[in-house]
Amino acid sequence: MYSASDLRKGLKISIDGEPYIITDFSFSKPGKGQALYRCRIRNMITGNASDRTYRSNDKFEKAPLEERTMQFLYEQGGEYHFMDNKTYEQIALNEEQMGDTTSFLMDNMDVEVLLFSDRPIGVTPPTFVELTVTKADPWVKGDTSGSDTKPVTVETGFVLQVPPFIEEGEKIQIDTRTGEYVTRVKS
Amino acid sequence: MVSARTLRQRAALFQAIRTFFTDRGYLEVDTPVRIPAPAPEAYIEPEPAGDWFLQTSPELCMKRLLAAGIPQIFQLCKCFRRHERGGRHLPEFTMLEWYQAKADYSDLMAECEQLLPFVATQLGYGDEVVTERGLVSLAGPWQRLTVAEAFDRFGSMPLADALAGDCFDEVLVRDIEPQLGVGTPAFLCDYPASLGSLARLKPDNPAVAERFELYVGGVELANGFSELSDAVEQRRRFESEQRLIGALGRTPAPMPESFLAELPAMGGAAGIALGVDRLLMLLLGANSIDQVVPFTPESLS
């Protein structure tokens, strides 16, 4: 149980049975008036943001969240199936719950699955993944266009900007937090 | 850690405040910080210090000095309020309070209009300050609007609805405060009588108290009022605040009996409290109170 004075940016609380994260927080108190705890909160399932103002006597439940390491098995009909490496328990997430993670997902990859009351609500891929370039325009020596990057497609279908010397069939490292190119992986 | 320049400006501000009031015949006083009975106010929680408390404001002691016949006094001191911590709040902060016998709240507003440009000039600034809500010119006269007018103009509901719906503070903070003191400082005046526990009611309209708050760039800087000098009425209001404190689950501090006993001798007077850390924030263009004090409580442990 949290009280209003525990509220701060990044705290995860449960409201009406749903998990919320506080994305912005400010304390205000008009002269002689009540302390007000103004929060911008985001529903961790739907992503919807809203503003709430709380008073000092308000109490909050901690959001029952748990992260478990799981292995990606396969995708079928928009359902992504994962297995807990310790208990062999299997779960499935839909496209919406997966979010941008599908851009980086490979068979057998270990990911962190976020569970709310044992219900999967999100997936975090490894910070860095190595993916093979499946489509790239050839590097034209003496290109005078002045551009220092070009778009390529990797095996998951994800498109990103890379240096011009990257060619089809090469492996590159990508930062999944930003979706940006990090380095070429020597095979 | 705060910069040496900020510490020098802080010291210069204290100096300028002392010069301003001393030049006007005010006497600097230093009343005890540790007191047995702070004024019961529902939403201000005193910090216990042994069997007594640290002052939430020097108000009661300063009024006792007025009652003792000293007509013009000011004080720069530390005040303590539990659980107040934010970008503009510290649980220990520096307060300026000044009191004048035979004056009312409009005299205090006029003094504010002179104090701010004076200290800004003394610290080497012009009469414009940069706030989160843009440039604010300190050259007077400043805006005056009543609480009812402010709710009509900026609030999502009229004052009567906000009071009936128990959301006065919410509407004030969300809709109104950011609009106050934009371009020129503003006095928000004439609070509902129930929100001015130590203030005198307006003689021609007892529904409102002669209380005002000074805002600059959306930030509340000072709270002043024509003082209530009727001890019977003051006791009645303190008892009502004590009941509210009990309803909020706290134990009220003892009734300030020595203050109530001497209050009738005070006669008509006006007094004001101004947050000195916030004034320094304003002059330096700081966006957090942390930037203008030598240490925050967090940096001590």
Q: Catalogue all structural domains in chain B, each as residue range(s) with its CATH number.
A: 4-139+226-300 (3.30.930.10)
Mean pLDDT of B100-128: 96
Taking the domains of chain A in order of start, what are their residue ranges? 2-62, 65-124, 128-185
Q: Check CB contact under 8 Å for B173 and A57.
A: no
| Homologous superfamily of A65-124 | Nucleic acid-binding proteins (2.40.50.140)
Residue A142's pLDDT band (cuts 50, 70, 90): low
| pLDDT exceeds cutoff 70 at A146 | no
Residue A143's pLDDT band (cuts 50, 70, 90): low
Q: Is the dihedral of CA B129, B135, B141, B147 positive or negative?
A: negative
For B131-169, the pLDDT digits (tens) are 999 999 999 899 999 999 999 999 999 999 999 999 999
Min Cα distance B50 → chain A (Å) is 24
Min Cα distance B41 → chain A (Å) is 8
**pLDDT the model gives residue B236:** 97
Q: Check CB contact under 8 Å for A29 and B86.
A: yes
Count CB neighbours of B288 within 10 A.
11
A-chain residues within 8 Å CB-CB of B195? 32-33
Q: Check CB contact under 8 Å for B223 and A53.
A: no
Nearest one of B6, B63, B58, B60 to B33, comparing CA atoms? B58
**pLDDT the model gives residue A117:** 84
- Cβ proximity of B193 and B206 under 8 Å: yes
Mean pLDDT of B255-277: 97
| pLDDT exceeds cutoff 70 at B275 | yes
| pLDDT exceeds cutoff 90 at A176 | yes
**pLDDT the model gives residue B238:** 97
Architecture in CATH for domain A128-185: Beta Barrel (2.40)
| pLDDT exceeds cutoff 70 at B95 | yes
Min Cα distance A52 → chain B (Å) is 10
- Cβ proximity of A93 and A112 under 8 Å: no
**pLDDT the model gives residue A31:** 84
**Cβ pairs bridging A and B (under 8 Å):** 54
- Cβ proximity of B229 and B149 under 8 Å: no
Please check whether residue A36 touches B, CB under 8 A: yes
Q: Check CB contact under 8 Å for B83 and A5.
A: yes
**pLDDT the model gives residue B254:** 97
Q: What is the pTM of this model?
A: 0.82
**CB < 8 Å & 24+ apart, contacts of B249-253:** B249/A57, B250/B45, B252/B40, B253/B37, B253/B38, B253/B40, B253/B46, B253/B53
Please indicate whether the domains covering A65-124 and A128-185 agree at the CATH topology level. Answer: yes
Mean pLDDT of B80-89: 95
Architecture in CATH for domain A2-62: Roll (2.30)
Please check whether residue A127 touches B, CB under 8 A: no
Name A49's bridge partners.
Answer: A42
Please check whether residue B241 touches A, CB under 8 A: no
- Cβ proximity of B120 and B285 under 8 Å: no
A-chain residues within 8 Å CB-CB of B173? 28, 30, 33, 36, 38, 53
* Residue B251 DSSP label: P
For A20-48, the pLDDT digits (tens) are 999 999 999 998 899 999 999 999 888 89
Q: Check CB contact under 8 Å for A5 and B86.
A: no
Mean pLDDT of B187-215: 95
**pLDDT the model gives residue A5:** 87
What value does the mean pLDDT of chain B take?
A: 96
For A45-103, the pLDDT digits (tens) are 888 999 999 998 899 999 889 999 999 999 999 999 999 988 999 999 988 888 888 99
**pLDDT the model gives residue A141:** 65
For B40-79, the pLDDT digits (tens) are 999 999 999 999 999 999 999 999 999 999 999 999 999 9
Mean pLDDT of A119-136: 92
Min Cα distance A132 → chain B (Å) is 48
For B230-240, the pLDDT digits (tens) are 999 999 999 99
